[in-house]
Structure 1
């Protein structure tokens, strides 16, 4: 179980790293081919191609002067190969700090954990 938790934590770390470096291809590669992602602004994206198109437009240049960190908070194993992961996202920019509360449903396929259904929600108030 500890190695599985660490594998999930590694995916969260790769999300952070790819976003921080604006590495679109690395970010998109973390998703399953048929993944569903709802952005922090409520845009629903379906499939890796749609996620790639959106990310390719918004990520380059978005991190200039900004630091984002992700901390895995909780894991709920739905099945041994499917986990719901709650994350604390902290973004610090010249405009101030903001917090998000993403939930990532990850599935293990061919020994690799992939983002499958994700909801990124800003924390308000």
Structure 2
């Protein structure tokens, strides 16, 4: 790495900010802000196994399910691992927790995997898979 390249720590913080924006846009019921985090050609598989291709399809789905979804609950996201495939591509493992309004756990956790790419200085969601963690 040369002196002009950002450090891994800086890149991880930038990635964490994208994950925080996912949490915030969902918490506030903002589907356009959520969809803007994806590349135009991104793919996303929901925790129910539905495949969405492209930002437009992701936005349409999100407009159907997000507004009002977090009135009595919230979802938290915690980055638990970042694997840099290249300096501008990272696989990001996230712990997703569903909570009641007063912070009590609801159901099973989620374990999303986000492949992110850095383009024009901005990390974007590229290929994402949400997975429910089933109780053993």
Q: TM-score surpassing 0.5?
A: yes
**Contact 1:86–1:104 (CA under 8 A) maintained in structure 2:** yes
Over the aligned positions, Cα root-mean-square deviation in angstroms equals 1.3
Distance in 2 (CA, whole Å) between partners of 1:3 and 1:15 is: 19
Match of residue 39 from structure 2:
32
SS of the equivalent of 1:91 reads strand
Match of residue 12 from structure 1:
19
Distance in 1 (CA, whole Å) between partners of 2:130 and 2:47 is: 5
Do residues 117 (structure 1) and 124 (structure 2) align?
Answer: no
> Structure 2 stretches of 5 or more lacking a match?
1-7
Distance in 1 (CA, whole Å) between partners of 2:24 and 2:109 is: 17
Distance in 1 (CA, whole Å) between partners of 2:48 and 2:67 is: 18
Distance in 2 (CA, whole Å) between partners of 1:108 and 1:82 is: 6
Moved over 3 A (4+): none
Of 109-118 and 89-98, more deviation after overlay is shown by 89-98
Scaled by the length of structure 1, what TM-score is found? Answer: 0.96
Deviation, structure 1 residue 61 = 1.3
SS of the equivalent of 2:109 reads strand
Distance in 2 (CA, whole Å) between partners of 1:48 and 1:74 is: 25
Match of residue 98 from structure 1:
108
> Structure 1 stretches of 5 or more lacking a match?
none
Distance in 2 (CA, whole Å) between partners of 1:76 and 1:18 is: 25
- Give the paired residue count: 125
Answer with 1 or 2: which has the greater Rg. 2
